[in-house]
Amino acid sequence: MNVKVDIDKQIDKTIVSVAGEIDAYTAPKLREALTPLTNESKPNIIVNLKNVSYMDSTGLGVFVGLLKAVRSEGGQLKLVELTDRLERLFSITGLSDIIDISTKSEGGVQ
């Protein structure tokens, strides 16, 4: 399966909607789409994962890298609308302690 990434740049935030599976095959495409967003000063990135059906450790690595890049620019990263399965994955790995995660929608996120 592929991963689909839609980016909606707004005045005060960038909303990224991801759909599909995030694995060793699709993670490079996701990283390629997300990396330019971190080149701004103080990026505010919200990633909606409600349509992600599967994620492996490669996908987790993409989000850890994104978090580091965003923080190095003084910005914020938030993951929203995680499925129970993804929420459990982030929790088990301890990433839910360092990444801002919400199972609910963020204002303006569809």
pLDDT score, position 110:
41
**Block means of pLDDT (10 residues each) for the chain, length 110 residues?**
93 96 96 94 96 96 97 96 94 95 66
Dump the DSSP string for the chain. Answer: --EEEEEEE-SS-EEEEEEEEESTTTHHHHHHHHGGGGGSSS-EEEEEEEEEEEE-HHHHHHHHHHHHHHHHTT-EEEEES--HHHHHHHHHTTGGGTSEEESSPPTT--
Domain 3-102 coded CATH 3.40.50.300: no
Q: What is the mean pLDDT of the chain?
A: 93
Over residues 39-68, the pLDDT tens digits come to 988 999 999 999 999 999 999 999 999 999
pLDDT score, position 105:
72
